[in-house]
Amino acid sequence: MGIEKRVLELVEEKIADRPDLFLVDIKMHSNGKLIIHVDGDQGINIQDCAAISRHVGYHLEEENAIENAYNLEVSSPGVDSPLRLLRQYRKNIGRTVALKMVDGSKREGTLQEASEKEITLSEIIKEKGKKAIQVETSIPLDQIIETKVLISFK
């Protein structure tokens, strides 16, 4: 069994009683760094990350699952990490997002809705010589390469 599959089982086991938390990603890098990204519907705190880290670390050590020295890192995805899961899209409804599209274009607007197949984006469209208007557009997820939440410091 691959180490990522075992780590997935351990994380799921640890957060089974926490329906507000969810696993985003697991990556074992060749340099020995094992990175686990976990998030929550209301975010995730340092105590939750530490508890997951202890649980995973303890079991990996007990099972001698990783031969070489490794560094275990448990955190939430950073603010600059792209959204990967429907649950992350839903958590960020009402926030401004930037999209990179399959056709190479970029779009920006307020995330209004998210489903398994598409998102709804509220965009300000400004045509030359006309007043800017707000338009809601449904965008299929398969047309989006990357979605990032834009952080406003206003």
- pLDDT tens-digit profile of 90-140? 999 999 999 999 999 999 999 999 999 999 999 999 888 889 999 999 999
Place of tokens 């984006």: 121
Instruction: Quote the CA–CA distance of 111 and 31 in Å, as a whole number.
Output: 37
H helix or E strand, kind and range, residue 8: helix 3-14
Of the candidates 48, 75, 102, which is a domain's last residue?
75
Q: What is the DSSP string of 112-129?
A: EEE-SSEEEEEEEE--TT
Which pLDDT score, from 0 to 100, does residue 1 have?
Answer: 57
- Per the domain annotation, does 154 fall within a domain? no
Mean of pLDDT over the chain = 94
User: Same domain, yes or no, for 58 and 21?
Assistant: yes
- Domain total of the chain: 2
109 and 71, same domain (yes or no): no
Which tokens is 75 given?
A: 């955190």
What would the mean pLDDT of 21-39 be, rounded to a whole number?
95
The CATH number that applies at residue 26 is 3.30.300.70
Question: Are the C-beta atoms of residues 71 and 32 closer than 8 Å to each other?
Answer: yes
Residue 81 placed within a domain: no
Domain membership flag for residue 13: yes
Same domain flag for 57 and 100: no
Domain termination site, one of 46, 75, 104:
75
- Does residue 69 sit within a domain? yes
pLDDT tens digits, residue range 55-76?
999 999 999 988 888 999 999 9
Kindly report the pTM of this predicted structure: 0.85
> Residue 79: what pLDDT?
82
Residue 145's domain comprises 86-149
